[in-house]
Structure 1
Amino acid sequence: MATETVIPTARRLGVPTRLAYGFGSVAFGVKDNGFSYFLLIFYNQVMGLPAQTVGLAIMIALFVDAFLDPIVGQVSDNWRSRWGRRHPFMYAAAIPVAVSYLLLWNPPAGWSDQALFFYLIGVAILIRSFITLYEIPSSALAAELTTEYDERTKLLSYRYLFGWIGGLAMFFAALSIFLKPDASQAVGQLNRAGYSNYGLAAAGLMLFAILVSALGTHSQIPHLRTAPHRNASLATLAREMLGTLSNRPFLFLMGAAVFNSTAIGLGFSINLYFQTFFWEFRSDQIALFTFASLTAAVLAFAGAARISQRFGKRPSAMGLIFVSMLLTCLPIVLRLVGVFPENGSPILFPLLFTLSIVSVGLGITGNILLSSMIADVVEDSELRTGRRSEGLFFAANAFVAKAVTGIGIFVSAILLTGIGFPDGARPGEVAPEVVRNLGLVVAPTLAILYGTAVAILTGYRITRASHLESLRKLTAAADLAAEGEPPGSTGRLS
């Protein structure tokens, strides 16, 4: 009788390991939230740089940093040390991440626009480069800690949950504690001193999260893959990178990521403008939306694996992202056609709060599944190339996300300039036609971007069955290699 092949790395992880792994994404969530929500409005409305100048600076920094991602991924895939392939980078990044993030929110006073422009570029490159040294090796652990199809989704659910918790916690603290009106500034989100205090608190939290995650997963190092002994030239490594990244399922995922991340970058960077000027919410009301997003993240954490088990990763991701997009654009469209509650209506806030829970929750769940799909590409690629490339795949995904999220932020700045949105604006004082044009250009742009991402995902073909078959073939090949080759000639399979 045929016996079922045992997959040595398809193991289930304990809750402490999942918690430690997930908690590290607090650092990324804080950084990403700060870049997405606050950076444009801080340097534009508070520091006085024109919106298009801020957008250009952010995009340049993101592009420069994005090219570092594949390098870090390739290096960590081939790194040999007594602490394995990933943890040395995670430990090394902790303090530089905190220091550079603190500098971002404390620009020198009295500098010219040109000097401030270059300061923003330089410091943004620093923080994003240092967080890359942590985030790429850390994210690669998802595919390395386990190869089990549904366990990966659970593990990445923890990562997304803590990423959202970290980002939302600092967002709420910023608006409710740091960015409060005072004698010199009547609008809390325009209070410069508050941003300085926010930067200090955020930097401390990022340092703590990185160290907790690195220490908390340190015991897993003996179970992780060991990089093979090799002396490959730079040309060889470059050819291997290109060969690995030409994997067909991965190319479809990256094509979808281009449009999905552009939409996310646009939506996040323009969100505070909508809440402040389109819906005219107060800073304390805007802060309460963090609870909507937190609820959404918890629901996504609870439901991602169940949805994947029932419907599969690809169809679930497609449906969730599409419905999330519809619910995001619906209030804007209804307001534009005059059938949505007016600003100041007692039902406006609870209505948008509820819609936010649903739309954000669906979007987070869809993105959890997309990340899990990237992890599943690792074995498909290994079967074709003979190389384990977790770091490279997650680095390439980060490369695309960072680069095109930067485009999304830049697009938001261009849209603001195109509709004539004024610098130094105050809620209720912006011309009605400008506010209306904000909705007219943003809603269809988001719909096109998200819709294109969903369409491209139809080309991804890895399923539960095909992934299990890849694992069986790899295990069989490893068993044959162990019988016919001397020990130490290849990296370990368990």
Structure 2
Amino acid sequence: MAKTNNRWLYSTGMLASMITVATFSGFINFYYIDILKLSPILIGQAMLIYGIYNAINDPLLGQISDRYRSKHGTRVPFIKYGMIPFVIAFALLWLPQTTWFGGNQTALFAYFVVSILLFDGLYTLVFLNWTALYPELYRTEKERNEVSAIRQIFGIVGNIIGFATPPILAALMGWRAMGILFAVISLLALYLSIKYVKEEPIYEAKEGLPFGVALKETLRNKAFLIYVIAAFFLQFTFVFMQAVLPFYVKYVLKVGSLEQSLVLGTVFISALLFVFGWSKVSNKKGAKWTMLTCIVLFALSLIPYWFADSFLSGLIVAVLNGVGLAGLMILIDVMLADVIDVDQLKTGQRREGMYFGMNALIIRLGISIQGPLLGYILTKSGYVADAIEQSATAILGLKVALVVIPIIALILSFIVFSFYPLDKKAVVKIKEQLKKDVAS
């Protein structure tokens, strides 16, 4: 068990997570395809390698975290000693310049594969453990909704920095300097997030489950299986849209770097206005009901992207996106924390590491799929890297990628989440049973 008396400081870790993830998800394809001219097909192949790597890396690191014991705690040591290598790995992603490797696609491909695997492995090491602290620190539904809202405030700020500012910063200082700047900010945020976290020995005194047993128990948790399938479609929507939007804003809306940043940032600025509102709705109606409502609202808000053709129209659509997005961002971790509580009732163990590891695997699978899918769409639609103007078929391809594919994924997420068994009444019963177990 862990504790901290400062919810806001703990939540600063979300700033580091979202700055790095938003920059990676939103611009890694754009940087290597449109700027460095790496083939979209090779990008897709790299992402497949990335997905296979994560199939092993994420659950394994989760299990190691659950079983690790030291006088300094279970989760905090991984964060403390992993955060500096992590931010260095992030900066390395943006190091290559157009003159590197003499135009050799194979060499650039090799660098890309090694750098994304290094970045992702260290990201998992640090943020799997940071996220696993959340359900340990905050046990009641009210606490989790409130802290999740605070975390998402930092997350939204991180998304604004990582998703909206790169076009401007790259124009002013270059991609390399931008990567270093974001690395420094992320390191400071991580340091603050664990400064006052103290892990207690209550659960640390127990030996964790063996890997095979732990994996089996995780996959036998019905609530988790439903959650993770629905969350996959949701997370795929997020990462795919983040990858597509820089291309869409540049070539469909036809705006400069400042306007690109404003459109991309408006999505998250709008979401910031609705975070605490959705937190209150979730406290009253339950996470499941609120999640389903937000999926519908977010899906409907994507339709106008098909018709947007200017900076102003893109800005209006971005504002609409934020309404449903705010709720989705809050609830994804709240629902997983409830799933972990169910597991504790069954196994008598707190196994945040394994669950967040398996969840991280699903998120990375979404990234792995979006790479080949986006590469296929760009290639087949006739996209030309850094062209002044794209063809009509390339524009159509970008609209399909931003509207049709995400809406299909959201519909599938809604259908699966409708079977999620932990409605408000079920969650209340679980919390009551956990209190009895702790008291006994």
Q: Does 2:390 align with 1:430?
A: yes
Match of 1:65 among 54, 61, 67: 54
Q: Does 2:227 align with 1:253?
A: yes
- After TM superposition, give the deviation of residue 97 of structure 1 in Å: 0.9
Match of 2:155 among 163, 186, 190: 163
Judge conservation of contact 1:379–1:467 (CA < 8 Å) in 2.
Answer: no
Kindly, what percent of the aligned residue pairs are identical? 23
TM-score under structure 1 normalisation?
Answer: 0.83
Judge conservation of contact 2:145–2:279 (CA < 8 Å) in 1.
Answer: yes
Match of 2:406 among 446, 459, 462: 446
* Residues 12-411 of structure 1: pairs in structure 2 closer than 5 A: 14=5, 17-107=6-96, 109-111=100-102, 112-180=104-172, 194-215=174-195, 217-218=196-197, 220-222=198-200, 225-230=202-207, 236-332=210-306, 335=307, 343=309, 348-411=310-373
After superposition, the C-alpha distances for 1:25-62 in whole angstroms (9 at most, x for unaligned) are 12211221121221111111111111121232134224
In structure 2, C-alpha distance between the alignment counterparts of 1:364 and 1:260, rounded to whole Å:
13
Judge conservation of contact 2:215–2:354 (CA < 8 Å) in 1.
Answer: yes
* Residues 460-479 of structure 1: pairs in structure 2 closer than 5 A: 460-479=420-439
SS at match of 1:459: coil
Unaligned runs of 5+ in 2: none
In structure 1, C-alpha distance between the alignment counterparts of 2:153 and 2:108, rounded to whole Å:
35
In structure 1, C-alpha distance between the alignment counterparts of 2:395 and 2:377, rounded to whole Å:
12
SS at match of 2:274: helix
Judge conservation of contact 1:58–1:120 (CA < 8 Å) in 2.
Answer: no
Larger radius of gyration: 1
Comparing 92-101 with 356-365, greater Cα deviation is found at 356-365
After superposition, the C-alpha distances for 1:73-107 in whole angstroms (9 at most, x for unaligned) are 22222222222211001101111011111111112
Judge conservation of contact 1:262–1:406 (CA < 8 Å) in 2.
Answer: no
In structure 1, C-alpha distance between the alignment counterparts of 2:219 and 2:375, rounded to whole Å:
32
SS at match of 2:239: helix
- Report the CA distance shift for 1:477/1:432 in structure 2 as closer, same or farther (over 3 A): closer
Give the number of equivalent residue pairs: 437
Q: What is the letter of the counterpart of residue 167 of structure 1?
A: N
After superposition, the C-alpha distances for 1:102-159 in whole angstroms (9 at most, x for unaligned) are 1111126125111110110101111111111110011111110121012112112222
Aligned Cα root-mean-square deviation (Å): 2.3
Unaligned runs of 5+ in 1: 1-8, 181-192, 481-494
Comparing 468-477 with 114-123, greater Cα deviation is found at 468-477
TM-score under structure 2 normalisation?
Answer: 0.93
- After TM superposition, give the deviation of residue 225 of structure 1 in Å: 4.5
- After TM superposition, give the deviation of residue 316 of structure 1 in Å: 1.0
- Report the CA distance shift for 1:75/1:261 in structure 2 as closer, same or farther (over 3 A): same
Judge conservation of contact 1:422–1:430 (CA < 8 Å) in 2.
Answer: yes
- After TM superposition, give the deviation of residue 405 of structure 1 in Å: 2.3
Q: What is the letter of the counterpart of residue 217 of structure 2?
A: G
Judge conservation of contact 1:23–1:159 (CA < 8 Å) in 2.
Answer: yes
- After TM superposition, give the deviation of residue 213 of structure 1 in Å: 0.9
- After TM superposition, give the deviation of residue 442 of structure 1 in Å: 4.3
Q: What is the letter of the counterpart of residue 101 of structure 1?
A: F
In structure 2, C-alpha distance between the alignment counterparts of 1:293 and 1:398, rounded to whole Å:
24
In structure 2, C-alpha distance between the alignment counterparts of 1:442 and 1:171, rounded to whole Å:
16
- After TM superposition, give the deviation of residue 372 of structure 1 in Å: 0.3
In structure 2, C-alpha distance between the alignment counterparts of 1:276 and 1:34, rounded to whole Å:
16
